[in-house]
Amino acid sequence: MRRFALILLLSSLFLVLLAGCAGGKAESAAAVEAYLNALVDGQADQLATLSCADWESSAQTELDAFQNVAAQLVDLACGETGKDGETTLVKCSGKITASYNGELQDFPLDDRVYQLVSEGGELRVCGYR
C-alpha cells in the first residue's frame, strides 16, 4: 500500500510540473492565435489590444491588406519556440487564405517567428522575424 501511495504521489507531482510548464507555452501560442484571428476577422480594436504599442501601426497596416476580402485561417497551430531576452518567440503553421476578385491566395504562416513582449501584464504580439 505504501508503494502505491508513493507512485500516486510522484505521478501527481509530475503532472503538476508538466501542467505548469505547458501553461506559459499555451499562453503565448494563444496570444498569437488570437492576434491572427483578429487579423482575418477585421477586428481592428481587438488587434490593437493584442499588439504591443510599438507594433500597433504595423498591425493596422496588415489589417488594411485584408480589408474587403474574404480571409480565413486554415490549419492554424502555434507553439512557443523559445525566448530572446525578454521576448517570447512563437512559430505557427497553417496559412491565411484570402479571396481577391474570386481568386484564392495563400499566405503561409510557417515562415514567420512572432515576437511577443509583456505589456500591462499580458503577452502582446510585437512583430515577427
User: How many CA atoms lie less than 13 Å away from 102 in the CB half-sphere?
Assistant: 0
* Its pTM surpasses 0.85: no
**What are φ and ψ of residue 101, in 5° steps?**
50, 45
Say which amino acid occupies 114.
Answer: Y
Per-residue pLDDT tens digits of the chain, which is 129 residues long: 444 333 333 333 333 333 444 444 589 999 999 999 999 999 999 999 999 999 999 999 999 999 989 999 999 999 999 999 999 999 999 999 999 888 999 999 999 999 999 999 999 999 999
Domain count, the chain: 1
Question: Given CA atoms 38, 39, 40, 44 in this order, what sign does their dihedral have?
Answer: positive
Q: Could you list the residue range(s) of the whole structural domain that residue 98 is in? A: 2-128
Question: What CATH number is given to the structural domain containing 86?
Answer: 3.10.450.100
Give one DSSP letter per residue of 51-114, joined into a string.
B-GGGHHHHHHHHHHTTTSEEEEEEEEEEEEEEETTEEEEEEEEEEEEEETTEEEEEESTT-EE
In whole angstroms, give the CA distance from residue 36 to residue 41. Answer: 8
